Amino acid sequence: MDTRYFDLANVLTGHSTEVKAGDKVLIESFDVPDDMVLALIRTVRSLGGVPFVTHYHASITRELLMEASDDQYAYDSEIKLQQMQGVDVYIALRGAHNIFENSDVPGERMQTALKHYRPVQDYRVQKTRWVVLRWPTSAMAQQAQMSTEAFEDFYFRVCTMDYGRMTVGMDALKSLMDKTDQVHLKGQGTDLKFSIKDIGAVTCGGFRNIPDGEVFSCPIKNSVEGTLQYNAPTVYQGSSFDNVRLEFEQGKIVQATSSDTRRLNEILDTDAGSRYIGEFSLAFNPHITRAMRDILFDEKIAGSFHFTPGQAYEEADNGNRSQVHWDMVCIQTPEFGGGEVWFDGVLIRKDGLFIPEDLQKLNPDYLLGDT
């Protein structure tokens, strides 16, 4: 068995979820090799935890979604919620042989499933120690335009990095965001203002997502004004979007265009909260420098931010509720056109690099150990 599987399992059960004796641990695998699941089971047991495993396959999930009904998913979500309520730790390994597997699932069928699964997700996020990661596949390597071998090397380097090295810089950024009122984002096609006053900020250094590297907050719901041009491609509910552009008035998305404007607006019309923003985050993983149409990687790109239509997290909450939580990414490094982040009239980040001295420990040269 590949020893890197155990290295990753140790990160997930140790750093990320801190499994301890007696913990019930739910492992959900989606198109993941059995050897990785075996490594996790053995690692959980070595820590005194009790492992439980559920396997999923994308093609089967798609077939179920194609004719999704309220009766079907109300019953299924009831079972899943009961299972989630019985565990202490949740670890998800999500592979995808084809990221567009659900692209032909009718939108109303997808919404049926999402509506019923929302309580399961909310309980998991709020009540368990959890972590989610993508699994490297040849499809992901193709998205990254890398050979399978090179991508796997990149993947394990990113996922097993020393996330503790981020702590000091993340704490400084959180402290600053906790005190910030007005945020101004500038860049090509972007001139956006909003307030995060009294919302608070949350550090993410490998405890919820792998890979990781962000500090997030949330705009006051009605405060967002201006225009935002995202420059990273995005995939949501099995559909791909490029060049997403959003216009805001009093917090609401009043105009939205993209390479698939019809489908974009269909998703943004899911419910009353899907045209308002539920998250604002600054990202800084030094190993991730460009988009690969996988959000768990793309939302951590060094020098990027994401601005998320839909559901807000309770840890940094503006009260917005929605079935949607769509992380869309804008990269502000020079090769992607640059950009600026201002807090209360002070320049905090320019062209992807933090300016204040105490935040420079989140810049790539420091996190990679080059200083």
pLDDT digits (tens, 9 = 90+) for 281-323: 999 999 999 998 888 899 999 999 999 999 999 899 999 999 9
Residue 50 in any domain: the answer is: yes
**Same structural domain, 176 and 72:** no
pLDDT at 370 over 80: no
**Same structural domain, 155 and 172:** no
Which amino acid does the sequence have at 2? D
Domain end marker among 107, 135, 159: 159
Which residues 6+ apart lie within 8 Å of 177 measured at CB? 196, 200, 201, 215, 217, 343
Domain harbouring 39, CATH code: 3.40.1830.10
**Same structural domain, 149 and 252:** no
Residue 363 in any domain: the answer is: no
**Token pair of 244 as six digits:** 């997403």
Cα separation, 116 vs 109, whole angstroms = 11
Report the pLDDT value the prediction gives residue 98, as an integer from 0 to 100.
84
**Same structural domain, 26 and 173:** no
At 193, the pLDDT band (50, 70, 90 cuts) reads very high
Q: Which domain holds residue 67?
A: 3-159
**Same structural domain, 197 and 313:** yes
Name the packing angle between helices 70-85 and 107-127 (round to 10°).
10
**Same structural domain, 148 and 246:** no
Residue 367 in any domain: the answer is: no
- How many structural domains does the chain have? 2
Helical spans, DSSP H, in the chain: 3-10, 34-46, 58-66, 70-85, 107-127, 138-143, 148-159, 167-179, 261-268, 295-298, 364-367
**Token pair of 59 as six digits:** 């093609």
Report the pLDDT value the prediction gives residue 141, as an integer from 0 to 100.
87
Domain end marker among 159, 179, 205: 159
**Token pair of 268 as six digits:** 């943004």
Other C-beta atoms closer than 10 Å to the C-beta of 45 total 13
**Same structural domain, 119 and 236:** no
**Same structural domain, 293 and 196:** yes
At 57, the pLDDT band (50, 70, 90 cuts) reads very high
Residue 371 in any domain: the answer is: no
pLDDT at 55 over 70: yes
Using CA atoms of 222, 223, 226, 227 in order, give the dihedral in degrees to the nearest 10: -70
| Residues facing 202 on adjacent strands | 216
| Residues facing 29 on adjacent strands | 55, 93
**Token pair of 205 as six digits:** 């250094």
**Same structural domain, 153 and 174:** no
Cα separation, 131 vs 207, whole angstroms = 6
Q: Are 348 and 250 in contact (CB under 8 A)?
A: no
Identify the top-confidence range among 81-90, 124-133, 140-149, 150-159.
81-90
Cα separation, 66 vs 25, whole angstroms = 31
**Same structural domain, 40 and 66:** yes
Q: What is the pTM of this model?
A: 0.79
Helical spans, DSSP H, in 19-132: 34-46, 58-66, 70-85, 107-127
**Same structural domain, 95 and 207:** no
- Please provide the average confidence, as pLDDT, over all residues in the chain: 94
**Token pair of 110 as six digits:** 């997808």
Of 370 and 42, which is predicted with more confidence?
42
pLDDT digits (tens, 9 = 90+) for 234-290: 999 888 899 999 999 999 999 999 999 999 999 999 999 999 999 999 999 999 999
**Token pair of 32 as six digits:** 């993941």
Cα separation, 135 vs 12, whole angstroms = 13
pLDDT digits (tens, 9 = 90+) for 169-187: 999 999 999 999 999 999 9
